[in-house]
Amino acid sequence: MCGSFNRPGFPAVLRSEDGELSVKPVKVGICGLGTVGGGTFNVLKRNAEEIARRAGRGIEVAQIAARDANPQCDTTGTPITGDVFELVANPEIDIVIELIGGYTVARELVLKAIDNGKHVVTANKALIAVHGNEIFAKAREKGVIVAFEAAVAGGIPVIKAIREGLSANRINWLAGIINGTGNFILTEMREKGRAFDDVLKEAQALGYAEADPTFDVEGIDAAHKLTILASIAFGIPLQFDKAYTEGITKLTTADVNYAEALGYRIKHLGVARRTEAGIELRVHPTLIPADRLIANVNGVMNAVMVNGDAVGSTLYYGAGAGMEPTASAVVADVVDVVRALTTDPENRVPHLAFQPDALSDHPILPIEACESAYYLRIQAKDHPGVLAQVASILSARGINIESIMQKEAEEHDGLVPMILVTHRVCEAQINDAIAALEALEGVAGQVVRIRVEQLN
Amino acid sequence: MCGSFNRPGFPAVLRSEDGELSVKPVKVGICGLGTVGGGTFNVLKRNAEEIARRAGRGIEVAQIAARDANPQCDTTGTPITGDVFELVANPEIDIVIELIGGYTVARELVLKAIDNGKHVVTANKALIAVHGNEIFAKAREKGVIVAFEAAVAGGIPVIKAIREGLSANRINWLAGIINGTGNFILTEMREKGRAFDDVLKEAQALGYAEADPTFDVEGIDAAHKLTILASIAFGIPLQFDKAYTEGITKLTTADVNYAEALGYRIKHLGVARRTEAGIELRVHPTLIPADRLIANVNGVMNAVMVNGDAVGSTLYYGAGAGMEPTASAVVADVVDVVRALTTDPENRVPHLAFQPDALSDHPILPIEACESAYYLRIQAKDHPGVLAQVASILSARGINIESIMQKEAEEHDGLVPMILVTHRVCEAQINDAIAALEALEGVAGQVVRIRVEQLN
């Protein structure tokens, strides 16, 4: 049902008689092979099969434009050029992935790619915040897609969440930790009482902060991202020049500690709020009550809260930067483009995320074959030797103990609760151990068993 | 560029000569006017203009099928029938919204709607988990969309996040608090030391739990949702019958407290994990380290963690149930359908979420017009009367004090830090107050000012 699409810059989908999609891959070109470019190349290569099952079509890197090789990428077999403009003119390429950063060449490159009928995926927040209005107008004129999920909060699909997931709402406000470098510095200042300058130096040594850290610590990077978020939340044009931006360079550990004493944490937030009079658009250090989820987002992690009139407050959390987290968003945009142009409009996004003919028969395991750590509570009759017997039953089955707690003070009818947390082990093994424990004369009644997951 | 669509059950988009979309609204029918149905009706009505600006077309409720009126909805002017099958046969209706719940009538109704060429939006997790494979096959056959974001975690767009936002990843595992009733009970047990039965009775009185709470407290509801999440994460067919399900009815406050003493929180989790041997699919009480973000998701709120090989761990948080949060997801699905079928495929989702001709000129406010609470640190020369002068400066400008802390012990060069947190006030007012404070003879140097946001 439904014919195939045929558009400028995008080859027709080839269908065999029985309606199968052809295996002809979509061809992408990657401009820039730095951290994000390298990650994008690696993710496309490593997850090629998984991605094709989701997208309905393979995705092939037809060309890379880069000045230098990236030692973290094995690009053997992929044509490389030093000239990005050669890549955007390459008639083989359907989608141009712009990962060179900056405003000037990137703008020219993206406009040229659109002119040539290419779809564009970019991670460039500065470009979108400053030149987005121009770029989007050109894209509409030429009938191509421009996607930019990776421009805000790295791997967290927050643009998609606001633009599509919360489309029923009148958005009231949003607030985000959208610069990982800044959050790393504030986390260290709070947890270890270190001074700003001291932590900044470490962040630079760790590669979290640039040699010139101005964009991160003065809030400019966060203001780029906030500008984009505010536009998609409130339906206003991009207006980076109107954002109020205040950095974290003047924060002292004294204020971090006083805030703590008052029940607050200090975070560098981007805040956008709709009021009768207009939109507040501001980046600055902010005290947040310590019990809020977002106040507990630490290190280089990012999180964005979005409050809508129907949904209330929601939060999206994850890695805001880095090689593969950012690549995750770039490649998701590529998949969106492929799905939008390749598959049937009615089933653009497959119901179960993967194409119906690409579901797997990987079995669901019975619970006995599942693996978990376990919390065990044993009611021990208070006589010597029970602990040794318990330990021996567990060790005979290769079950290691992570921690143990015996509450003598809570003795009750001559029974003392003994609490154990094990390492990860197969459920069948713990069942066997529990049966043996319950058979011990020194153990009363049933052993309480609750699973433990680290979730990190 | 690109013509209009014309499909069974969906009227052609009318375009005027200059390419403007017609104002002809898409017509939806709502089956069921209970909590979610009522919420959906109200959100569609209240946010009609905002939604049309996002979707590119108005959305009109053409008919409601309900046995009883909902006192929270003013349905004046909307045709109501008592027969859901009359609604799905209504030739006027483009999209059927199924909100009656249950497996039997809902299944028949949805299959009939698809047969009639209607697109379907449903919030029915049981229906999708148990009959999804059949429903999706029928939808593909008929070329209509079936959308079900509201079936998992209410207003949190987590299906979209996994299915589209994380499509670059090989998903390793996911874990979610996906039943608000259960989480409310566990939160009360931990925070107030209350027994399970006692809290369950309160939850029933508050309307969080049904008269028959089995689906919630025995984990069946969570297993429905987990089944759906696992399928879209791993690309496997829906297999609800293979999920391992364990409830929270046997949890004691003793174990909740011991877990706490060991540094853990107990949450009722749905866990799905990919292993070499197969997929783990299990719902059970789980100890989680207390410092994990998800361990701090309390009350009726939901959260889902998803770990992918490229992105690492991400988390999605929000209201998992309730009238308008669930409606938020239902209506977002409706907007997805309208966008997919109405607008140009290349610009299906507008760059800035709202249609380019529907952006607003609501101004960005200068920082002086923004409102916030403020943390102020004043270095007071330690002589009597400074506090009175400070209080008088603030009160003269209508600035109320939320809390105050004076650290005599931290006297330094004869200066004592005085810390204030104000109520919300306009930035211009605080600037004026700070200037007056700095002019006081009893105040040394500059006043430190950091903004405070409650974010609740």
**pLDDT reported for residue B407:** 79
Cβ <8 Å between A288 and B453: yes
Q: Which residue has the tokens 């980046």?
A: A283
**pLDDT reported for residue B159:** 98
The domain segmentation of chain B, as residue ranges, is 21-155+325-347, 158-320, 370-452
CB-closest option in B167, B251, B341 to A332: B167
Residue B15 or residue A29, greater confidence: A29
CB contacts under 8 A, B 396-455 vs A, are 403, 405, 407, 417, 419, 421, 448, 450-455
Please tell me whether A176 is known to bind a ligand.
Answer: no
Q: Note whether B179 and B219 are within 8 A (CB).
A: yes
CB-closest option in A160, A166, A356 to B164: A160
**pLDDT reported for residue A255:** 96
pLDDT > 70: what percent of chain A? Answer: 94
Q: What is the average pLDDT across A248-269?
A: 96
pLDDT > 90? residue A410 = no
ipTM over 0.90: yes
* B371–A contact, CB cutoff 8 A: yes
User: Residues of A with catalytic annotation?
Assistant: 225
* B239–A contact, CB cutoff 8 A: yes
**pLDDT reported for residue B23:** 57
CB-closest option in A46, A155, A296 to B314: A155
Q: Note whether A294 and A175 are within 8 A (CB).
A: yes
Contacts of A377 in chain B (CB under 8 A): 254-255, 258
The DSSP 8-state label assigned to residue A67 in this structure reads: S
Q: Which residue has the tokens 């297993």?
A: B223
* B124–A contact, CB cutoff 8 A: no
Sequence letter at residue B101: G
CB contacts under 8 A, B 146-185 vs A, are 146, 149, 155-157, 160-170, 175
Contacts of A140 in chain B (CB under 8 A): 347, 356
Active-site residue among B27, B142, B225, B267?
B225
Cβ <8 Å between A275 and B365: yes
- The CA angle B352-B356-B362, to the nearest 5 degrees, is 75
**pLDDT reported for residue A3:** 29
Distance of residue A153 Cα from the nearest chain B Cα, in angstroms: 11
Residue A450 or residue A2, greater confidence: A450
Question: Alpha-carbon distance A345 to A349, whole Å?
Answer: 8
Question: Alpha-carbon distance B155 to B318, whole Å?
Answer: 7
**pLDDT reported for residue A295:** 97
CB-closest option in A232, A279, A365 to B365: A279
**pLDDT reported for residue A84:** 97
Please tell me whether B249 is known to bind a ligand.
Answer: no
Q: What's the CATH code, domain B21-155+325-347?
A: 3.40.50.720
Contacts of B305 in chain A (CB under 8 A): 455
Cβ <8 Å between B235 and A165: no
Same fold, A158-320 and A370-452: no
pLDDT > 70: what percent of chain B? Answer: 94
Cβ <8 Å between A359 and B236: yes
Q: What is the average pLDDT across A217-243?
A: 97
DSSP for B366-415, written as a single string: PGGG-EEEEEEEEEEESSTTHHHHHHHHHHHTT--EEEEEE-GGG-BTTE
Question: Alpha-carbon distance A331 to B383, whole Å?
Answer: 63
Residue A441 neighbours by CB under 8 Å, 6+ apart: A381
Question: Alpha-carbon distance A82 to A67, whole Å?
Answer: 5
Lowest mean pLDDT among A21-25, A88-92, A321-325, A351-355: A21-25
Q: pTM of the entire structure?
A: 0.93
**pLDDT reported for residue A342:** 72
Contacts of A447 in chain B (CB under 8 A): none
Q: Which residue has the tokens 């052993």?
A: A447
**pLDDT reported for residue B5:** 31
Question: Alpha-carbon distance B243 to B224, whole Å?
Answer: 9
- The CA angle A170-A153-B452, to the nearest 5 degrees, is 65
Best interface-test mutation with B: which of A293, A294, A352 has the largest number of B CBs within 10 A? A352
Contacts of B356 in chain A (CB under 8 A): 136-137, 140
Q: What's the CATH code, domain B158-320?
A: 3.30.360.10
Q: What's the CATH code, domain B370-452?
A: 3.30.70.260
In angstroms, what is the C-alpha Rg of chain A?
27
Secondary structure of residue B339 in the 3-state scheme: helix
> How many interface pairs between A and B have CB atoms less than 8 angstroms apart?
474
Q: What is the average pLDDT across B177-186?
A: 96
Distance of residue B455 Cα from the nearest chain A Cα, in angstroms: 7
- Closest alpha carbon to A174 in A279, A39, A96: A279
- Closest alpha carbon to A100 in A118, A81, A124: A124
What confidence tens digit (pLDDT) does each residue in A312-361 have?
999 999 999 999 999 999 999 999 999 987 766 666 888 999 988 889 99
* Among chain A residues, CA nearest to B235: A359
CB-closest option in A5, A287, A356 to B375: A287
Q: What's CA B384's distance to the chain center, in Å? A: 52
Question: Alpha-carbon distance B373 to B426, whole Å?
Answer: 8
**pLDDT reported for residue A8:** 34
Question: Alpha-carbon distance A383 to A391, whole Å?
Answer: 15
* B327–A contact, CB cutoff 8 A: yes
Cβ <8 Å between A310 and B271: no
* B319–A contact, CB cutoff 8 A: yes
Cβ <8 Å between A318 and B313: yes
pLDDT > 80? residue B347 = no
- Closest alpha carbon to A286 in B24, B396, B452: B452
Cβ <8 Å between B450 and A258: no
pLDDT > 50? residue A13 = no
Please tell me whether B38 is known to bind a ligand.
Answer: yes
CB contacts under 8 A, A 183-222 vs B, are none
Cβ <8 Å between B361 and A236: yes
CB-closest option in A143, A305, A312 to B346: A143
Best interface-test mutation with B: which of A148, A169, A372 has the largest number of B CBs within 10 A? A169
pLDDT > 80? residue B233 = yes
Distance of residue B362 Cα from the nearest chain A Cα, in angstroms: 6
Cβ <8 Å between A319 and B340: no
CB-closest option in A334, A448, A455 to B255: A448
- Closest alpha carbon to B222 in B205, B189, B247: B247
What confidence tens digit (pLDDT) does each residue in A348-404 have?
888 999 988 889 999 999 999 999 999 999 999 977 789 999 999 999 999 999 999
pLDDT > 70? residue A15 = no
Sorting pLDDT into bands at 50, 70 and 90, what band is B211?
A: confident
Mean pLDDT over the full length of chain B: 92
What confidence tens digit (pLDDT) does each residue in A172-224 have?
999 999 999 999 999 999 999 999 999 999 999 988 888 889 999 999 999 99
CB contacts under 8 A, A 43-102 vs B, are 43-44, 46-47, 50-51, 53-55
**pLDDT reported for residue A246:** 97
CA atoms within 13 A on the CB side of A145: 26
* Among chain A residues, CA nearest to B316: A316
Secondary structure of residue A288 in the 3-state scheme: strand
